[in-house]
A and B are shown apart, each in its own frame.
Chain A
Amino acid sequence: MSAAHGAYILMGVPLEHPVRILVIEDEKKVASALREGLEVEGYEVSAAADGEEGFQLASRSPFDLVLLDLALPRRDGIDVLTALRRRNVATPVFILTARDTVEDRVLGLDGGADDYLVKPFTFPELFARIRALLRRGRADPVLKLQHEDLRVNLATREVARGDRSLELTAKEFEVLECLLRHRGRTVSRDMLASSVWNVAARATPLDNVIDVTMARLRRKIDDPFEKKLLHTVRGMGFVLGAARE
């Protein structure tokens, strides 16, 4: 079903080779879940189970992205990262770690990482960030988003469905924009919290706020219409449009 699947198309841009991702992760279950999840997304995945092996792989063969755990046997993640950067390996590095203090983040990003996600992470957020990393540098010319008969103008902040114009609050608009940008894919609460509410601290009581905002958005864009566009994916988040099977 996925557009990227097999055809090497990323964000609507056809590619000459599949996107190759190296996963450096010692926890077997997480590593295999990452591999499967990324392969379903259409990426080509290699895996390394310790820091040394990961470093060797990353410095020898070209990857489009490296997913790097920090607590690794044989060679620490930060060490791998700095060694790669010293060798002028410019591959984007995405740190996945359970260390979530500000100091850890600064250490990782200063060490040359391109993004940082704290475990336990949700796949929708990971995939969204990977896509953002891979398309980085390319301008985002999109000013109008559309799904079926739902249209959003990012410049004028107008929302309409069919021939009816809809009044959304600022937060509802931003949530809808986030959902539309990832249409067809699940958007997790964590993603909404960081991209719409700018709240990174996960101890913040924001889940209720997100649920209520989502319910109100649904009331406006779905309730008056026969075809429902906004769906809840239990335990994961929300999706605009049909979820991929």
Chain B
Amino acid sequence: MKRRLPSIRARLALWHAGVLTLIVCVFSAGILVFVRASLFAGVDRQLHRALTTIDWVYHHEPDEIADLASESGIVLFQLVVDGKLRYQTEGWKRAGLSRALHDGAMGPESWESPNGGWYRVQAVAEPSYTLAAAVVEGARRDAFWTLVAILAAGIPLAAGLAVAGGYFLAGRALAPVGAMADKARQITADSLGERLPVRNPQDEFGRLAGVINDTLSRLHDSFDRLRRFTADASHELRTPLTAMRSVGEVALEATLEPARYREVIGSMLEEVDRLTHLVDSLLVLTRADSGATRPVREVVELSALTGSVADHLRVLAEEKQQSLSVDAGAPVEARCDPAILRLGLMNLLHNAIKYTPSGGAIHVRAKAGESGQSLIEVQDSGPGIAAVHRERIFERFYRADAGRSGESAGVGLGLAIARWAVAANGGHIELESEESKGSLFRIVLPG
């Protein structure tokens, strides 16, 4: 089991510090290798020059070899000729540098003398003589180890600062998340109108807040719809119940003629019809919501279907002296459930007849769409639908003419059923409408 740090902030800070420390370590190691190499390269060049000089002097002016130390500053060297020490400087002797060569080592190599000094020693062996020189490494070596010490002390300090800085920065960066969480915690079903704060809509948290706010908006809308639906449904359900109850109670209170009783009972049965129709319509929709209605798709010829639906409802149009014309063009085919589509089209056309005044014209046609879809258009010459209603007219119980009732009163579910019926077949309904010029409902089915 891996134990996880509880806060993203701490995790971010540690990751930050860890990565930074790793980088610093690698960088430091690189510096040390480079510095060390360049330091010893300098020493070795110096050593090489010293040996060349001594060699030259030994060959050309062997007597002056003892003056080399005082004249050229080459103070650490010895000369062995034929196995016998010919010359050794004072410094060489003092430092006991001969021991650096005891195993016949030729160098160049670093050697620590017993008194604690560090020397770089190199020997050159010729057939008749051996020449050895040394250079004090001290200052360069000290500089190198000082650098090591500084880096060794600095890296933990940098890591510590990285943790602290990372923690601080992560805290600042994550602050909007905390604010969003605090705000989101306060939002309940009753305050769905509130939104999360968005500091910068372009950055990641701003986009996240934007997405959550969009979700909240949709949630708000569906809560609103649900609330309206509940209010409307209870109104629609209670009205017939109230009518039945009051008609029945009034009739029971008085002694009436049998004919009057029949009328009372008939009136109650009418309300039962209304309720039945309402419940049936609601059941169609709720079953669709719960996915219980599965469309059985087949290839359907839409012109014929359109004509038959129009024939069904033609009497209604005739009764209102409306002209109901069907444009029977070329056959149009779509894959859909004919019974469900028929129900949808029926409701759409019924709606057109209902809201188009007497003497108006309604035109229905099925045609092929431009990009392969199949279309059914229902065009009426009714009063049109104001822009404010266009979005909501397909909602359950929504009526553009809120106050209207009487002969045109339905239960207000026709268009909702139409929308579902088309959506169940994979399509959608488009609405084009201009006030006082009529409306065009267009069923768009995928090809």
| Chain A contacts to B: CB under 8 angstroms | 100-101, 120, 171, 189, 197, 201-209, 212-213, 215-216, 233-236
Flag if A203 contacts B284 (CB, 8 Å): yes
Which residues of B261-286 are within 8 A (CB) of A? Answer: 262-263, 265-270, 272-273, 276-277, 280-281, 283-284
The answer to whether B268 and A235 touch across the interface, beta carbons within 8 angstroms, is yes
Contact B346 A204 (CB under 8 A): yes
Q: B267–A203 contact, CB under 8 A?
A: no
Given contacts A204-B346, A235-B268, 12 further A-B contacts (CB under 8 A): A171-B315, A202-B280, A203-B413, A204-B343, A205-B346, A209-B312, A209-B313, A212-B318, A234-B263, A235-B267, A235-B272, A236-B266
A203 to B276, CA, bound (A): 9
The prevalent SS among residues of B at the interface is: helix
The answer, among B265, B281, B316, for a CB contact under 8 Å with A203, is B281
Q: State which of B263, B318, B347 has its C-beta within 8 Å of the C-beta of A205.
A: B347
Q: Are A203 and B343 in contact (CB under 8 A)?
A: yes
Q: Indicate which residue in B267, B315, B346 contacts A213 across the interface (CB closer than 8 Å).
A: B315
Residue pair B316, A212 in contact (C-beta under 8 Å): yes
Chain B, residue nearest A119 (CB): B276
- Residues in A whose Cβ lies below 8 Å from that of B313: 209
Task: Please measure, in the bound complex, the distance between the C-alpha atom of A91 and the C-alpha atom of B347, giving whole angstroms.
Answer: 41
Chain B residues lying within 8 Å of A206, measured Cβ to Cβ, are: 312
State whether A234 touches B343 (Cβ < 8 A): no
Given A204-B346, A205-B346, A205-B350: A235 in contact with B312 (beta carbons within 8 A): no
Inter-chain CA distance A234–B315, complex, in Å, is: 22
- Please, which residues of chain B bring their CB within 8 A of the CB of A205? 346-347, 350, 410, 414
Q: B282-299: contact bitstring with A at CB < 8 Å (1 yes, 0 no)?
A: 011001000010000000
Question: How far, in whole Å, are A206 and B319 apart by their CA atoms in the complex?
Answer: 14
Task: Show 22 A/B contacts (Cβ-Cβ < 8 Å), sorted by A.
Answer: A100-B283, A101-B287, A120-B276, A203-B413, A203-B417, A204-B347, A205-B346, A207-B277, A212-B316, A212-B318, A212-B319, A213-B315, A215-B319, A233-B266, A234-B262, A234-B263, A235-B265, A235-B267, A235-B269, A235-B270, A235-B272, A236-B266
User: Nearest Cβ in chain B — how far from A7, in angstroms?
Assistant: 27
Q: Is B339 an interface residue (CB 8 A)?
A: yes
Contacts of B315 in A (CB 8 A): 171, 209, 212-213, 216
Q: Give the size of the chain B interface in residues (CB under 8 angstroms).
A: 33
Report whether B280 and A234 are in contact in the complex, using a CB–CB cutoff of 8 Å: no
Q: A233–B266 Cα gap in the complex (Å)?
A: 8
Q: Which of B277, B292, B413 contacts A202 (CB 8 A)?
A: B277
A235 touches B417 (CB 8 A): no
B269 CB contacts on chain A under 8 angstroms:
234-236
Q: Are A201 and B273 in contact (CB under 8 A)?
A: no
- B347 & A234 in contact (Cβ 8 Å cutoff): no
Q: Judging by beta carbons under 8 Å apart, are B343 and A201 in contact?
A: yes
**CB nearest to A232 among chain B residues:** B266
Q: Decide if A197 touches B312 in the complex (CB within 8 Å).
A: yes
Give 6 nearest A-B pairs by CB, closest first.
A235-B269, A234-B266, A235-B266, A202-B280, A205-B350, A203-B284
Closest to B274 in A: A207
How far does the alpha carbon of A202 sit from the alpha carbon of B411 in the complex, in Å? 13
- How many Å lie between the Cα of A208 and that of B281 in the bound state? 16
CA distance A120 to B268 in the complex (A): 14
Q: Residues of A contacting B283 with CB < 8 Å?
A: 100, 203
A212 to chain B, nearest CB (A): 5
> Which residues of chain B come closer than 8 Å to A209, judged between CB atoms?
312-313, 315-316
In the bound complex, do residue B273 and residue A235 qualify as a contact, i.e. CB atoms below 8 Å apart? yes
Give the one of B267, B281, B413 with max A CB within 10 A. Answer: B281
Chain B hits for A203, CB < 8 A: 277, 280-281, 283-284, 343, 413, 417
What chain A residues lie within 8 Å of B319 (beta carbons)? 212, 215
Cβ distance B340 to chain A, nearest Cβ, rounded Å: 9
CB distance from B210 to the nearest CB of A (A): 40
